[in-house]
Structure 1
Amino acid sequence: MTEADLQKADPRYEGFYGTYTITEADRREVQRYRVALLISGIAFSAGLLQWWQWGGQLAWLWVLPLAASLGLALHWIHIYLRPLHRALQLFWLLGCLGWGALLMMASPSAALTTLQNHPLWILAVGPLFAALAGIGFKEFFCFRRAEAIGLTLLLPLALLGRLSSLMPADLCLALLGAAALLLLVLALRKFGIPAAADVGDKSVFAYLEQQRAAGAP
């Protein structure tokens, strides 16, 4: 492959700290992030729909693809600040552990009913949704999408409202359903933008890595 072919395949951009390229590996990573986010939206929406229409006996199964796809999305997401990225991954891990404890202690078929009747369980499973709200905040901060800020606000509003007993279960479920639909809209709309937008300014990543390396003992 000639130099001209390489430049065509990996276009150069002018960043805050210098030029950078968006490589094929970057594009694959963005595509995987978008697919994982879409699967999260589908699983979240389908689980809530099944819970609303047919009860929670089998609806808990949708938690599995939701948690798995959300974890992958957090692996492939591009966030400048490593502490923020690690915090979202930690929330995801804590939420997965919380769901595991709920499924073991209440039995899978009764897990969602237990969660509905005993809101204190939200403290255990809530971090998973905190990680999802964090993705929403990142997407709003970067792209100013209305569905992203809606997702960011509705998830904590629903869960904290139910945890504090200030919100009836039906309203909480409705707000979660709205958040799930907003997540679907957010994920679908991301397929229409260039990969470079999701990658962001790689010169900032490179600069922060240099700063971390320089400060390492």
Structure 2
Amino acid sequence: MLYSFMGERARYQPLTREDKITVVLYRIGIFLSTLTVCISAILAIMGLRYPEVLNNRVISSGLALDILLLIFYLGVGLSVFFIHLYVGKFHRVLKKIYYVAVPCLAVLFLAGKGNPAVPLLSGQSYETLLLIPVSLCLGFVTAKEAFCFQLVEGYILALLMPACLFFYSVGALSRQTAVYALGLIAGLLVLFIFRKVFMPLDFDIGDKSAYQP
């Protein structure tokens, strides 16, 4: 079924209040994810040019980075739990991946001794692998939108995010290359969100009679 992910541009039925709330929360999640990735990209690029600023003012405290990371997880979580999919098993699989991502965040807290974002910005480390599950969740969201609405950047993001995390963590990408890749991901997310969030809310709901358990 070509419509199994969603993506109906026709208005099949009036939207209920619950429909509108869930779609808005879903899009807020995408926005928060994009915002945090963009801020992270800016910090990482600044760190290449002014490493003393990043080390002394950002990494030394870690609190702002940790809040940024938590907001990222919150944004991805909103997208995961409020996404509208015709096939229920896809949604269940997506939620299971997010359930794996949350313990990975807890491990990051332990690895960073309370500051999970610090090892992520302080250099190459295997801790970066712990971000792959949450990147898969976000990648599923972007790929779903790409499939439904021809947002080609969504497919690129779905492949690029986990691939960059993996290759950077094992040392196949230099820090500079990884930072520029993060900048590319941020740019693609900005393009993606501007093409997505202004769509009519009806597009995300589609035909309710086609939903499968």
Report TM bin, short chain.
Answer: 0.7 to 0.9
- Structure-2 residue corresponding to 1:66: 72
Q: Which amino acid aligns with 1:49?
A: I
Q: Which residue of 1 aligns with 2:152?
A: 146
Matched, 1:173 2:166: no
Provide structure 1 residue ranges, at least 5 long, that are not aligned to the other structure: 1-10, 14-19, 210-217
Q: Structure 1 residues 170, 95: closer, same or farther in 2, change over 3 A?
A: farther
TM-score normalised per structure 1: 0.77
Residues 12 and 175 from structure 1, CA distance in 2 versus in 1: closer, same or farther, beyond 3 angstroms? closer
Quote the offset at 1:129 in angstroms.
0.7
Compared CA separation, residues 12 and 29, structure 1 to 2 (3 A)? same
Number of equivalenced pairs: 189
1:155 CA displacement? 0.7
Gap change, CA 1:186 and 1:28, over 3 Å in 2: same
Q: Which amino acid aligns with 2:184?
A: A
Segments of 4+ in structure 1 off by > 6 A? none
Which AA in structure 2 matches 1:167?
L
Q: Could you say what the CA RMSD is over the residues aligned between the two structures, in angstroms?
A: 2.2
- How does 1:177-192 map onto structure 2 within 5 Å? 177-192=183-198
Picking from 136, 145, 154, the partner of 2:142 is 136
Residue correspondence of structure 1 range 11-160 to structure 2 within 5 A: 13=12, 20-53=13-46, 54-55=54-55, 57=59, 58=62, 59-107=65-113, 108=115, 110-113=118-121, 116-118=123-125, 120-160=126-166
Q: Which consecutive residues of structure 2, in runs of 5 or more, have no partner in the other structure?
A: 1-9, 47-53
Structure whose residues are more often helix by fraction: 1
The share of aligned pairs that are identical, in percent, is: 24
Shift in Å, 1:164: 4.1
Q: 1:147 & 1:156 partners in 2: Cα distance?
A: 15
Cα 1:48–1:92 shift into 2, 3 Å: farther
Between the two structures, name the one with larger relative contact order (CA 8 Å, sep ≥ 6).
2
Determine if contact 1:147/1:182 at 8 Å carries over to the other structure.
Answer: yes
Q: CA deviation at 1:73?
A: 1.5
